[in-house]
Amino acid sequence: MRRRRAWDHAWKLALAVVIIVPLYGLPLLYLLSVSFQSPVQFLRNPFSFPHPFVLANYPTAWVQGDFGRYFVNSVIYTASSTMLSVLFAVFVAFPIARRYVRGGSFIYSLFLAGFFLPVSIVPLFIEAEKLGLYNTRWGYILLHLQLGLTLGVLFFAGYFSNVPKDLDESALLDGCGYFRYVLQILLPLSTPALVTVSIYAAVSTWNDLIGPVVFLASNDYFPLTRGLFSFYGQYESEWTLLAAGVFIVAMPLILTFAFIQRYLVRGATAGALKL
pLDDT at 75: 93
Q: How far apart are CA 202 and CA 81, in angstroms?
A: 8
Q: What is the pLDDT of residues 8-19, one digit of tens each?
A: 777 767 777 777
CA gyration radius for the chain? 23
pLDDT at 1: 61
Say if residue 164 is preceded by a cis peptide, omega within 30 of 0: no
Q: What is the pLDDT of residues 150-181, one digit of tens each?
A: 888 888 888 888 888 888 888 888 888 888 88
Classified as helix, coil or strand, 110 is: helix
pLDDT at 272: 46
Taking residues 109-136, what's their average pLDDT?
Answer: 85
Q: Would you give the DSSP letter of residue 221?
A: G
Which of 27, 28, 10 has the alpha carbon at shortest distance from 254? 28
pLDDT at 263: 61
pLDDT at 177: 84
Average pLDDT along the chain: 83
pLDDT at 274: 46
Taking residues 102-121, what's their average pLDDT?
Answer: 81
Residue 101 CA, chain-centre distance (Å), reads 30
